[in-house]
């Protein structure tokens, strides 16, 4: 998936500080960050807990305001520029699967009936047909993440922001979901910014892996993954794959504070 010359997202001089109320000190979450993501590219942000990678997504999504710097998102003709796929699914427990998927459309002013009609094909795309009227508690963790993904796809945004969406899944479901995500990405033709702390996951999914340092977060390396697509899960056993993973592992291991994975932020 070679990126076209058009940029979907461009961040310049992005900086994020929090004020720690208890000690009245400033905590730097992101030091300075410049990042370009091409149209249709799949880019992973990889780093230890607390490196500011989720914070970056929230700034792009508008849930947080940066301290300095700017982000440009290419306008899409059809509606929203970006849509978020949340960690822990975050489905509304009181809505059926179909109504959860239709939520973003309803927020955009589409009538309930039309939103459901437009959500139905996406429920099918993520493989949840037959579960439209179920409530989230009746779904497995993997199915909840499928609905979470469909909800973001439904608003037809140009960029999907995915915040460690498979972190809480068991190893097998996680692999299945990774392969599913590539299938859906292939069908939906979106730009994806994918946050994860799993090296394997980042290499398997991405065109580029952006490795971040531990807090304060900055970019350590931007690695292009030249594995052919479509990628089957077997590619994880290949020599090239292992080489990429080893290269990234070395980068992270050289980080003095990287071993401190207990930090959260």
Partner 1 sequence: MSVESASYRVIYPRVRRRRSPIARWYRSNEPAVLGLAGLASFFILWQVASNAGLIDDLFFSSPTAVLQAAVTEVQVPRFWSDVQYSLTEVIVGFIASLVLAVPLGLVIGWYRRVSFAFDPWLNFLNAIPRPALIPLVVLWVGLGIEMKTIIVFLGGFFSIILPTVEGVRTVDQGLLDVAHSFRASQRRVFTSVVIPATVPFIAAGVRLALGRLLIGVVVAELYAQTQGIGVMIERSADVLDSARMLFGVLIFTLMGVLTTGLAGRVERRFQRWRPSANLDLEEGV
Q: Which of 9, 37, 83, 125 binds partner 1 (CB under 8 A)?
A: 83
Q: Is 106 in the site for partner 1 (CB under 8 A)?
A: yes
| Beta carbons within 8 Å of 187's beta carbon, 6+ residues apart | 125
Query: Is 110 or 125 the residue whose CB approaches partner 1 more closely?
Result: 110
CA within 13 Å, CB half, 73: 21
Q: Report the b/e string of 115-150 with b at 16+ CB within 10 A.
A: bbebbbebbebbebeebbeebbeebebbbbbbbbbb
Q: Which of 30, 66, 84, 210 binds partner 1 (CB under 8 A)?
A: 84
If binding means CB under 8 A, how many residues of this protein chain bind partner 1? 22
Query: Binding mask 7-46 vs partner 1 (x if CB under 8 A, - otherwise)?
Result: ----------------------------------------
DSSP-assigned letter for residue 79: S
Q: What would the x/- binding string for partner 1 be over residues 43 to 62, using CB under 8 A?
A: ------------------xx
Does the footprint of partner 1 cover residue 88 (CB under 8 A)?
A: yes
Contacts 24+ apart (CB under 8 A), 138-143: 139/97, 140/173, 141/89, 141/168, 141/169, 141/170, 141/173, 142/169, 142/173, 142/176, 142/177
Interacting residue with partner 1 among 1, 107, 257, 259 (CB under 8 A): 107
CA gap 97, 8 in Å, rounded: 30
Residue among 175, 171, 173 at smallest CA distance from 236:
175
Question: Toward partner 1, which CB reaches closer, 98 or 209?
Answer: 98
Q: Determine the angle formed by the axes of helices 171-188 and 112-125, rounding to 10 degrees.
A: 120
Q: Decide: is 94 part of the binding site for partner 1 (CB under 8 A).
A: yes
Q: Select the span of 2-10, 65-73, 116-124, 134-142 touching partner 1 (CB under 8 A).
A: 134-142
Rounded Cα gap, residues 106 and 124, in angstroms? 19
C-alpha atoms less than 13 angstroms from C-alpha of 121 in its C-beta half-sphere = 10
Kindly indicate which of the ranges 8-16, 23-31, 82-90, 220-228 contains the residues binding partner 1, using the contact rule CB under 8 A.
Answer: 82-90
Nearer to partner 1 (CB atom), residue 102 or residue 177 = 102
Residue 141 binding partner 1, by CB under 8 A: no
Residue number, 5 or 94, with CB nearest to partner 1: 94
Determine if 175 is a binding residue for partner 1 (CB under 8 A).
Answer: no
Neighbours of 34 (CB within 10 A): 13
The residue within the footprint of partner 1, chosen from 42, 86, 194, 241 (CB under 8 A), is: 86
> Minimal CA–CA distance to 161: which of 85, 53, 72?
85
Q: Contact with partner 1 (CB under 8 A): which of 63, 233, 243, 257?
A: 63
- Where on the chain is the footprint of partner 1 (CB under 8 A)? 61-63, 80, 83-84, 86, 88, 90, 92-95, 103-104, 106-108, 135-137, 155
């Amino acid at each position: 998936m070679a990126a076209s010359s058009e940029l979907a997202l461009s961040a310049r001089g992005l900086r994020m500080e929090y004020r720690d109320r208890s000690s009245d000190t400033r905590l730097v979450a992101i030091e300075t960050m410049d990042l370009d993501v091409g149209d249709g590219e799949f880019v992973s942000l990889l780093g230890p807990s607390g490196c500011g990678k989720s914070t970056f997504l929230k700034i792009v999504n508008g849930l947080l305001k940066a301290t300095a710097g700017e982000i440009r998102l290419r306008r899409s003709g059809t509606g929203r520029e970006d849509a978020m796929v949340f960690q822990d699914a975050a489905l509304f427990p009181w809505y059926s699967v179909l109504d959860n998927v239709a939520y973003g459309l309803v927020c955009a002013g589409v009538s309930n009936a039309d939103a459901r009609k437009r959500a139905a094909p996406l429920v099918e795309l993520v493989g949840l047909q037959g579960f439209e009227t179920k409530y989230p508690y009746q779904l497995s963790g993997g199915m909840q993440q499928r609905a979470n993904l469909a909800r973001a796809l439904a608003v037809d945004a140009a960029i999907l922001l995915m915040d460690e969406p498979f972190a809480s899944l068991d190893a097998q479901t996680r692999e299945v979901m990774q392969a599913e995500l590539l299938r859906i990405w292939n069908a939906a033709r979106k730009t994806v910014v994918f946050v994860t702390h799993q090296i394997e996951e980042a290499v398997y999914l991405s065109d580029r892996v952006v490795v971040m340092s531990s807090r304060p977060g900055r970019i350590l390396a931007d690695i292009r993954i030249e594995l052919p697509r479509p990628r089957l899960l077997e590619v994880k056993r290949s020599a090239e794959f292992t080489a990429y993973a080893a290269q990234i592992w070395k980068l992270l291991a050289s980080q003095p504070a990287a071993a401190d994975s207990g930090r959260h932020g």
